[in-house]
Amino acid sequence: MSKELEKTYNPGEIEERLYQKWINKKYFHAEVNKKKKPFTIVIPPPNITGKLHMGHALDETMQDILIRFKRMQGYEALWLPGTDHASISTEVKVINQLKSEGIDKEELGREGFLKRTWEWKEEYGGTIVEQLKKLGSSCDWDRERFTLDEGCSKAVEEVFIKLYEKGLIYKGSRIINWCPVCKTSISDAEVEHEEQGGHFWHINYPIVGEEGKYVEIATTRPETLLGDTAVAVHPEDERYKDLIGKKVLLPIVNREIPVVADSYVDKEFGTGVVKITPAHDPNDFEVGRRHNLPEINVLNDDATINANGGKYEGLDRYEARKKIVSELEELGLLVKVEEHVHNVGTHDRCSTTVEPMIKQQWFVKMDELIKPAVEAVKSGEIKLIPERMEKTYFNWTDNIRDWCISRQLWWGHRIPAYYCDKCGEVVVAKESEKPETCPKCGHTSMTQDEDTLDTWFSSALWPFSTLGWPEKTEELEYFYPTNVLVTGYDIIFFWVIRMIFSGYEHMGQKPFDTVLFHGLVRDSQGRKMSKSLGNGIDPLEIIAKYGADALRFTLITGNAPGNDMRFYMERVEASRNFANKVWNASRFILMNLDKADTISFCPEKFDETEGFTEADKWILSKANSLVKEVTSNMEEYELGIAAQKIYDFIWEEFCDWYIEMVKPRLYNEEDNTKNAALWTLKHVLIDSLKLLHPYMPFITEEIFCNLQDEEESIMISNWPIYRERYNFTDDEQAVEMIKDAVKGIRNVRAELNVPPSKKATVIVVSEEEKIRSVFNSSCVFFATLGYASEVEVRADKAGIGEDAVSAVIPGATIYIPFAELVDISKEIERLEKEQTRLEGELKRVNGMLSNERFISKAPEAKINEERAKLEKYTNMMEQVTERLKNLKK
């Protein structure tokens, strides 16, 4: 039997209680169940250093909507959670903690530092997980994973050794991103490109053997000229054809370097001549390899100039820049300096400008590994939503470079490579099989590589390492490949593609069917939320004030795949108001159900012979169509479109129209259709709550469990299905016609300022018997909605006074006697007062505009303002005069 809801919806009171109930009941937990079809999502693992921000909130809400939807559809739905060890971020946090205690990382030693880091992880690393729970995330917390846990670590070791043995992992010198503050290589994902003001320094390089002749180059980093080993021109650039093969003298360093021809050079950009510094620019590095150029690194790890910089050795890179520019000016080789805004790569953790540098690092060879990832998207085996993301995807795969996977950090997966201290032989082996002696020279001292692996190396294995790989677990067999990956478009290159090629390489099949991309959550002005701007909005503060449901619904409504969205507090308030609307409508229905005979919500109970009216069939038909459309939208990942349809139906069709339509039947003890109305109210409310549940899980659960006893939780209830028997096209058309008539009546009354309390006769005139029949059968609720004292339905307008106001709908005209709407004597009195007021206003305005002093001295804006008033008052006067004339007839 139904129960009663609290008078006021209080999300703070219900959310924690309901979430704990779901946890206790194990509703989130998934098991291998061969009787069911699996549906799997693995969470993009948030960093253990992280706190919930709006990007997380959007990402997790989308995943939760999908998993709740599929769970209700009867799938064995697994949303597998976990966190990432976040090498650099975590190491920085722990180093700072140690510094505050006066402890140096190096003095503590590797083992001591790792012990402290694990302690930090245990104390602070679960913060974001608890925050995800506040959002209502229905993850299977029993299966929570961590990228450094035993199973994931075993998978990482297995993959490294397998790829090494296949020749796909190697150690070599290549250009990498280097952070001079953190003193480690970093991935492309950790480089943020931001626009910065800088300069283009134009420098003359003397041509060797041609006194007084130069080539002009332009650079944004003059200090790197210390490492130049060539200048390059385009092979088809007529201006420089005679220069190819000659040499120029490198200024300051006075080293002769060749002029090479390479199609990398853009003839149209700058002077068409570029300096080539292979050790400090990724493009120059490739040019250098093509032309066998020397690679001269001029920077130390802290971005000071090294011994290759000669007299500048020891200077910070920017100090060296100033001195080099000054010396070039003294030598007469500085042609000009231009202001230049360009994208500069900075480390996203410490905001330091990153230096491209040649370093001995471990790399993954990408040219063969990437091929299945390209083919998977081209063939449609993996679908990207929105489809336009394919262009970005292929742009990256087409320009793939070998992947630098080593990091100069202690926190992370240590590289399983061992070096002979005597002959330098390298042995790659599992920790359990680490070599005691060198297989080459027999020496008994072997040292493990100090570096750890890039965090992305372990998260690339996430879809299968979390399910037990490399062991052949039943979870892996059942839940893999997963179904959909939900992620922001900003990490398409770094994570998505790496998971795809890793899936094909190690599992022999795709890691997921679909990648659903979302955009960024921006502030109300369209700016990216950031600490520096101070425009971030804390999701937990929103939840505390408005509830998780309101935040979730706000993030999804109006949200299209791949598009950025602006976050407005007004929209959160609108979502909260929607929750209140649902709550209050449900309270109304519950209170009325208590007065009814026992009513089951089972759809099979419906029988059109048992007093179901056109209005009941209309809402049942509309709800039935909604089920079909929303299910289709959600299957196509159009979550924002589905949310808007649910919102529009509940607010407008169900609450504003149907509930108002049935109130006269509910309040009439003699009405024999009351039970049909109550059954319909309950049935449609239950289906509406189920459709809304993935978006607003808390409020829907609270209402559902108070509304019925047949199913123990909305979370594990059956998703509504479309039923052909509820397709009442004729009844839909009939009630839509009634609605049009009501809207017409309300518009007329609004124009005449008639309050809802003022009732009047409503006369429906139509020559069509079918239309008259519709209005006759709907008189009860039509009268209520149209503020009618009585309703007449007739075939002609005979006897209707000329003063009657009207509203026209297809096939019929609605008339209301004017005298019943308005007290004519009082209206004449009111209009005469308005006429007197307008006469005064017109006199004042005309007086000002005919005053030559005012026209000559007043600002133009003020004059235009008065002219606008004259036009407005003139129009108002014409309308009042016309109304008075008609009334006095």
Number of separate domains in the chain: 5
Q: Give the tokens for residue 448.
A: 């493990």
In-domain check, residue 850: yes
In the structure, what pLDDT confidence band is assigned to residue 604 with cuts at 50, 70 and 90?
low
Q: How far is CA 787 from CA 423, 742, 751, 759, 794, in A?
A: 98, 9, 15, 5, 19
717/589 same-domain check: yes
Among the three residues 335, 354, 374, which one is the final residue of a domain in this structure? 335
Closest CA to 549 of 11, 17, 138: 11
Write down the residue that tokens 């050079």 correspond to. 265
In-domain check, residue 312: yes
237/304 same-domain check: yes
Query: Which of the two residues, 816 and 76, has the higher pLDDT score?
Result: 76
Mean pLDDT, residues 24-28: 97
803/870 same-domain check: no
Among the three residues 335, 355, 371, which one is the final residue of a domain in this structure? 335
How high is the pLDDT of residue 534?
77
How high is the pLDDT of residue 858?
87
**Model confidence at 712: pLDDT above 80:** yes
Pick from 2-6, 229-233, 387-391, 881-885: least confident:
2-6
CA atoms 299, 302, 306, 311: torsion sign: positive
Distance CA 867, CA 869 (A): 5
CB within 8 Å of 391: residues ≥ 6 apart = none
Residue 7 annotated as lining a ligand binding site: no
Residue type at 39 in one-letter notation: F
Please tell me the total number of residues recorded for the chain in this structure.
889
Distance CA 740, CA 761 (A): 18
In the structure, what pLDDT confidence band is assigned to residue 606 with cuts at 50, 70 and 90?
low
In-domain check, residue 503: no
Q: Give the tokens for residue 126.
A: 């679960």
281/320 same-domain check: yes
In-domain check, residue 164: no
Among the three residues 450, 467, 501, which one is the final residue of a domain in this structure? 450
CATH number at residue 752: 3.30.2320
Query: Which of the two residues, 187 and 635, has the higher pLDDT score?
Result: 635
How high is the pLDDT of residue 607?
58
Distance CA 480, CA 612 (A): 48
**Model confidence at 253: pLDDT above 90:** yes
Q: Dmax over Cα atoms in the chain, in whole Å? A: 121
721/622 same-domain check: yes
In-domain check, residue 468: no
User: Phi/psi of residue 169, each to 5°?
Assistant: -120, 135
**Model confidence at 598: pLDDT above 80:** no
757/641 same-domain check: no
Burial track 274-312 (b if 16+ CB lie within 10 A, e otherwise): bbbbbbbbebbbbbbeebebebbbbbbeebbbbeebeeb
**Model confidence at 192: pLDDT above 90:** no
CB within 8 Å of 153: residues ≥ 6 apart = 413, 458
CB within 8 Å of 158: residues ≥ 6 apart = 470
How high is the pLDDT of residue 559?
77
Closest CA to 815 of 771, 767, 763: 763
**Model confidence at 427: pLDDT above 70:** yes
CATH number at residue 309: 3.90.740.10
746/874 same-domain check: no
Distance CA 306, CA 621 (A): 78
What integer best gives the mean pLDDT of the chain? Answer: 91
- Most confident residue range from 56-60, 69-73, 104-108, 745-749: 69-73
Distance CA 340, CA 334 (A): 16
How high is the pLDDT of residue 597?
62
In the structure, what pLDDT confidence band is assigned to residue 145 with cuts at 50, 70 and 90?
very high
Pick from 452-456, 492-496, 777-781: least confident:
492-496
DSSP string, 390-443: HHHHHHHHHT--PEE-EES-SSS-B--EEEETTT--EEE--GGG--SS-TTT--
CATH number at residue 647: 1.10.730.10
pTM, entire model = 0.84
818/836 same-domain check: no
How high is the pLDDT of residue 494?
76
574/721 same-domain check: yes
Q: How far is CA 471 from the centre of its chain?
A: 35
Query: Which of the two residues, 470 and 531, has the higher pLDDT score?
Result: 470
In the structure, what pLDDT confidence band is assigned to residue 1 with cuts at 50, 70 and 90?
very low
Distance CA 643, CA 554 (A): 10
Query: Which of the two residues, 193 and 353, has the higher pLDDT score?
Result: 353
Query: Which of the two residues, 654 and 197, has the higher pLDDT score?
Result: 654
Q: Give the tokens for residue 27.
A: 């509703």
Domain containing 809 equals 736-822
How high is the pLDDT of residue 599?
61
In-domain check, residue 502: no
DSSP string, 54-86: HHHHHHHHHHHHHHHHHHHTT-EEEEE-EEB--
pLDDT tens by residue, 521-541: 887 888 887 766 777 788 999
669/719 same-domain check: yes
In-domain check, residue 63: no
Mean pLDDT, residues 434-441: 92
In-domain check, residue 170: no
- Pairing assessment for the beta strands 406-407 and 482-488 based on DSSP bridges: unpaired
604/696 same-domain check: yes
User: 529 has which bridge partners?
Assistant: none
How high is the pLDDT of residue 603?
59
How high is the pLDDT of residue 602?
59
Neighbouring CB atoms inside 10 A of 620's CB total: 27
818/831 same-domain check: no
pLDDT tens by residue, 567-586: 889 999 999 999 999 999 99
